[in-house]
Amino acid sequence: MDLYFTTAVSILKGVICSSFSAQGAGPDTAGPALAFVIVNWNGGAFLRRAVASILQFPPRVAFEIVIVDNASVDGSLAWLRSDELKRQLGGIRLRVIENASNLGFGLANNQAFAFTHAPFLFLLNADSELREGTCDALIDSLGSDDRIGVCGPRIVNPDGSLQISVWRNPPSAWSILLTGFKLHRLLPRRLRGELLLAEHWRHDRRRDVGMLAGAALLVRREVIETVGGFDNRFHMYGEDNEWCLRTKRAGWRLLFEPAALVMHHGGQSSGQRWTELERMRVQLEAFFLFQRCCLNRRQRVANLLALSIVFASQLMWRRLLRRPTQRVSLALQLHLADLRRTLRSPSPRKPHELPAE
């Protein structure tokens, strides 16, 4: 836990902290039962809609809103300080952490974890919006069993279609090959959904899962206190994979609750920073880091080999059909490079024994 909170607390000393609709600022030892945590980087209108959705569909328990701003230059901070927002908040406390640079998603969340002492934390992306009854449905589900540490809602796209938010964790070579070569189609639909989750599952019933999307999560503070916050080595992408797996391995249950609904625009922040290929590279590098942190050498080699075989096959097929190959070619190149690094690495280390990068 010290790895996460020592860093977060030290960074808090160097940022500006503001508190609206209440007296005082800085970490508190008493307060509302629930804290909404939003990390913002140039969220603009999406941030406004996220906050508006909290105020429109609030939980039945007392709450506050904690926003960590990663050096936005789009006017987000001016809006957070505006009289307009103060009027909308009424008596609800808004607490703002202003970073001088973009510290990334995981570390910014860790700052908020150290900043508030609310027993429940609702992590909400700046481009996500609550729907009616979502908070209470998640609170009820989390309260149904003390072993449930994290609860995630059903997430939809702006057009109402399902957004995949549940996955197997960690990935395995057999599932990679099964889906990569579309062999899952040989299995009954219900069976493959239960085995593979992700796009193969309808997200239509409450169940324990291995991973929930970080776009919207309700978390018990005890989880943060026992397993720590996000791993600071992940700047963006992969931090929710690693944290969910660490939480699961610590004995906590991760529950998917379809009665709760969140709309997520998706990619609004990353789309401002990277091209499509650049974003894919960042995502894959985060995946490789996740594997190095959480899997043993045998598992990493098996997964990388399986993925390389799948991408090599896809590349050959696309060339035969004269289809664009840039994305598949880059994916294959990066996976082979990491496979070579893994094979050349010294004797395997246990998960979380890697030095900070």
What is the residue-wise DSSP string for 190-222? HHHHHHHBGGGS---S-EE-SEE-TTEEEEEHH
The pLDDT of residue 268 is 58
209 and 313 co-located in one domain? no
Helix pair angle (239-249, 105-115), 10° resolution: 50
User: What is the reported pTM?
Assistant: 0.87
26 and 120 co-located in one domain? yes
Nearest to residue 122, comparing CAs of 222, 36, 225?
36
Rounded Cα distance between 211 and 248, Å, is: 9
Neighbours of 192 (CB within 10 A): 18
Nearest to residue 42, comparing CAs of 66, 17, 76, 16?
76
Give the number of residues written for the chain: 357
Q: What is the full per-residue pLDDT of the chain (357 aa) written as tens digits?
A: 444 444 444 444 445 565 544 333 444 555 899 999 999 999 999 999 999 999 999 999 999 999 999 999 999 999 999 999 999 999 999 999 999 999 999 999 999 999 999 999 999 999 999 999 999 999 999 999 999 999 999 999 999 999 999 999 999 999 999 999 999 999 999 899 999 999 999 999 999 999 999 999 999 999 999 999 999 999 888 999 999 999 999 999 999 999 999 999 976 566 666 688 888 999 999 999 999 999 999 999 999 999 999 999 999 999 999 999 999 999 999 999 999 999 998 754 554 444 333
- Residue 175 domain-assigned (yes or no): no
25 and 120 co-located in one domain? yes
- What separation in angstroms does the CA of 303 have from each of 135, 155, 156, 232, 315? 37, 28, 29, 24, 18
- Residue 179 domain-assigned (yes or no): no
97 and 235 co-located in one domain? yes
235-280 confidence digits (pLDDT tens): 888 999 999 999 999 999 999 999 999 999 976 566 666 688 888 9
290 and 235 co-located in one domain? no
**Start-to-end C-alpha separation, the chain:** 18
- Residue 215 domain-assigned (yes or no): yes
86 and 30 co-located in one domain? yes
Encoded tokens for 322: 């004269």
- Domain region containing 36: 2-165+203-269
234 and 327 co-located in one domain? no
* CATH value at residue 104: 3.90.550.10
Output the CA torsion 214→128→37→222 (10° steps): -40
229 and 120 co-located in one domain? yes
Each residue of 321-355: b (16+ CB within 10 Å) or e? eeeebeebbebbebbbebbeebeeeeeeeebeeee
127-166 confidence digits (pLDDT tens): 999 999 999 999 999 999 999 999 999 999 999 999 999 9
CA angle 242, 155, 41 (to 5 degrees): 65
Q: What is the CA radius of gyration of the chain?
A: 21
225 and 279 co-located in one domain? no
Residue 189 is given by DSSP the state H
Rounded Cα distance between 152 and 214, Å, is: 9
- Residue 279 domain-assigned (yes or no): yes
The pLDDT of residue 335 is 97
Rounded Cα distance between 2 and 9, Å, is: 10
Contact 21, 86 (CB under 8 A): yes
Nearest to residue 9, comparing CAs of 170, 124, 117, 130?
117
- What separation in angstroms does the CA of 124 have from each of 66, 77, 175? 10, 18, 30
237 and 126 co-located in one domain? yes
Could you say which of 250, 269, 288 is where a domain stops? 269
